[in-house]
């Protein structure tokens, strides 16, 4: 039986299927034609690297984080892979996205919570996350995607997820499709992945 992550050449990549993997799989096709891309939570730069490596040469990527140390790690990772020229690293809250981005957004990624291995005190917060999500939804291009991974396993993450679920489920069907993915046999409130596509202006 073919395992997830095994390519047709027979090379085996033991990729664990988790929310971030699902997000990457669903974004990959659209990335090739995307020109204005946002990573709202750069963290250790893995998502920023994924966006940079899978988008066209002319794509512009904006990566936000409120921690300078996170952006330093992201910068090094991008440099190691020779894609740093496509990425603007912004040391600011994603709640201020509108101050930097004026053009329609093709793809935006949010991977909420705290920096793995970092302080749990510096996590995303429902008020700024909602502000950022609303700004991205307003700027989202026709056919554009907003991908968001929420972590309801901690207290603020649960509040954040409840509010996001309310906002996402209330989006008008005429303009947006909203889907949700989670592991239903995992306990202790596993992460949840949302994908929103703007289908009509
Ligand atoms: C789960 S990590 C992101 C993981 C990252 N995408 C990666 O691939 O490594 C969440 C990040 O969000 C950042 N963050 C928290 N609040 C933020 C805000 N208001 N604006 C931008 N980034 C924020 C944290 O500093 C942390 O680095």
Could you read off the pLDDT of 151-184 as tens digits, one per residue? 999 999 999 999 999 999 999 999 999 999 999 9
Q: Please, what is the average pLDDT of the chain?
A: 92
User: Is the model's pLDDT at 120 over the cut of 90?
Assistant: no
* Domains contained in the chain, CATH given: 19-198 (3.40.50.150)
Region 62-87 average pLDDT = 97
Residues 6+ apart with CB under 8 A from 80: none
* pTM to 2 decimal places: 0.93
> Is residue 193 helix, strand or coil?
strand
What value, to the nearest 5°, has the Cα angle with vertex 21 and ends 175 and 188? 90
pLDDT digits (tens, 9 = 90+) for 17-47: 899 999 999 999 999 999 999 999 999 999 9
Q: Which of 92, 176, 103 is nearest to 131 (CA)?
A: 92
Our answer on whether the CB atom of 126 is closer than 6 Å to any ligand 1 atom is: no
Shortest-distance Cα residue to atom 20 of ligand 1: 93
Q: Which of 160, 152, 161 is nearest to 187 (CA)?
A: 152
């Amino acid at each position: 039986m073919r395992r997830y992550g095994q390519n047709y050449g027979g090379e085996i990549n033991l990729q664990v299927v988790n929310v971030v993997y699902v997000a990457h799989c669903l974004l990959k096709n659209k990335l090739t034609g995307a020109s204005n891309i946002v990573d709202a939570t750069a963290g250790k730069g893995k998502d920023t690297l994924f966006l940079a490596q899978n988008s066209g040469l002319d794509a512009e990527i904006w990566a936000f984080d409120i921690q300078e140390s996170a952006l330093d790690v992201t910068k090094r990772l991008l440099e190691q892979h020779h894609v740093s020229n496509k990425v603007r690293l912004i040391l600011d809250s994603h709640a201020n996205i509108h101050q930097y981005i004026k053009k329609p957004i093709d793809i935006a990624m949010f991977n909420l919570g705290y920096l793995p291995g970092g302080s749990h005190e510096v996590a995303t917060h429902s008020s700024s996350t909602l502000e950022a999500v609303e700004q991205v939804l307003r700027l989202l291009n026709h056919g554009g995607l907003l991908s968001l991974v929420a972590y309801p396993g901690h207290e603020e993450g649960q509040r954040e997820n409840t509010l996001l679920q309310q906002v996402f489920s209330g989006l008008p069907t005429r303009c947006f499709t909203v889907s949700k993915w989670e592991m239903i046999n995992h306990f202790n409130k596993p992460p949840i992945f949302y994908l929103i596509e703007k289908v009509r202006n």
